[in-house]
Copies of this chain bind each other. A is one copy, B any other.
Amino acid sequence: MKPVVTIEYCPRCGWMLRAAYMAQELLTTFTDDVHGVLIQPSEVNGRYNIRVDDVKIFDRKEEGRFPEIKELKQLVRDKVNPEKSLGHSDKSKPLH
Stoichiometry, as copies per complex, reads 2
Q: Which residue of B lies closest to A24 (CB)?
A: B20
Q: Which residues of B contact A23 (CB under 8 A)?
A: 20, 23, 39
- Nearest-neighbour CB distance to chain B for A28, whole angstroms, equals 7
Query: Which residues in B have their C-beta under 8 angstroms from that of A8?
Result: 36
B-contact bits for A25-38, CB 8 A (1 contact / 0 none): 00110011011111
Q: Which of A4, A31, A32, A40 has the most chain B CB within a 10 Å cutoff? A: A40
Tell me the bound Cα distance from A6 to B40 in angstroms.
12
> In chain A, residues 23-66, which have Cβ atoms closer than 8 Å to a Cβ of chain B?
23-24, 27-28, 31-32, 34-41
| Contact with A16, one of B4, B24, B39 (Cβ below 8 angstroms) | B24
Between A and B, 7 residue pairs with Cβ closer than 8 Å are A8-B36, A16-B24, A20-B27, A23-B39, A27-B41, A32-B41, A36-B40
